[in-house]
Amino acid sequence: MWRSMNYMLAWTIPASGVVALSSTGIFAWSSLLFAFGVLPILDQIIPSNSRNLDPSALKEVESDGVYDFIVWAVFPMQLGLLVWFLLTISNPELSATTFYGRIASMGVLCGVTGINVAHELGHRASKKSQLVAKILLATSMYTHFYVEHNFGHHRNVATPLDAASATRGQWLFPFVVKSFIFGWISAWNIEAKRLKRKGYNTIGVHNEVLVWQLVQWTALALCFYFLGITIGCAWLAAASIGAFLLEATNYIEHYGLVRKKVSDHRFEKVEVHHSWNSNHIMGRIILFELTRHSDHHFAPNKSYPTLNSPEGSPQLPLGYPGMILLSIVCPIFIKVMDNKLDSSRYIAVKMR
Structure confidence by residue, pLDDT tens digits, 61-113? 988 999 999 999 999 999 999 999 999 998 999 999 999 999 999 999 999 99
Structure confidence by residue, pLDDT tens digits, 318-341? 999 999 999 999 999 999 999 999
pLDDT band, residue 347 (cuts 50/70/90)? very low
Residue 339: which residues within 8 A CB-CB, separation 6 or more? none
Contact 105, 17 (CB under 8 A): yes
Structure confidence by residue, pLDDT tens digits, 12-39? 999 999 999 999 999 999 999 999 999 9
Check residue 343 and give its pLDDT.
Answer: 83
Q: What is the 3-state secondary structure (H, E, C) of the chain?
A: CHHHHHHHHHHHHHHHHHHHHHCCHHHHHHHHHHHHHHHHHHHHHCCCCCCCCCHHHHHHHHCCCHHHHHHHCHHHHHHHHHHHHHHHCCCCCCCHHHHHHHHHHHHHHHHHHHHHHHHHHHCCCCHHHHHHHHHHHHCCCCCHHHHHHHHHHHHHCCCCCCCCCCCCCCCHHHHHHHHHHHHHHHHHHHHHHHHHHHCCCCCCCCCHHHHHHHHHHHHHHHHHHHHCHHHHHHHHHHHHHHHHHHHHHHHHHHCCCCCCEEECCEECCCCHHHCCECCCHHHHHHCCCCCCHHHHHHCCCCCHHHCCCCCCCCECCCCHHHHHHHHHCHHHHHHHHHHHHHCCCCCCCCCC
Check residue 4 and give its pLDDT.
Answer: 83
Q: Exposure pattern of 183-211 as b/e (b: 16+ CB <10 Å)? A: bbebbbebbbebbeeeeeebeeeebbbbe
How far apart CA 152 and CA 163 sit, in angstroms, is: 10
Structure confidence by residue, pLDDT tens digits, 237-260? 999 999 999 999 999 999 999 999
How far apart CA 73 and CA 54 sit, in angstroms, is: 27
How far apart CA 295 and CA 153 sit, in angstroms, is: 15
Tell me phi and psi for residue 267, to 5 degrees: -110, 160
How far apart CA 249 and CA 327 sit, in angstroms, is: 9
pLDDT band, residue 345 (cuts 50/70/90)? low
Alpha-carbon Rg of the chain, whole angstroms? 20
Structure confidence by residue, pLDDT tens digits, 131-149? 999 999 999 999 999 999 9
Structure confidence by residue, pLDDT tens digits, 262-298? 998 899 999 999 999 999 999 999 999 999 999 999 9
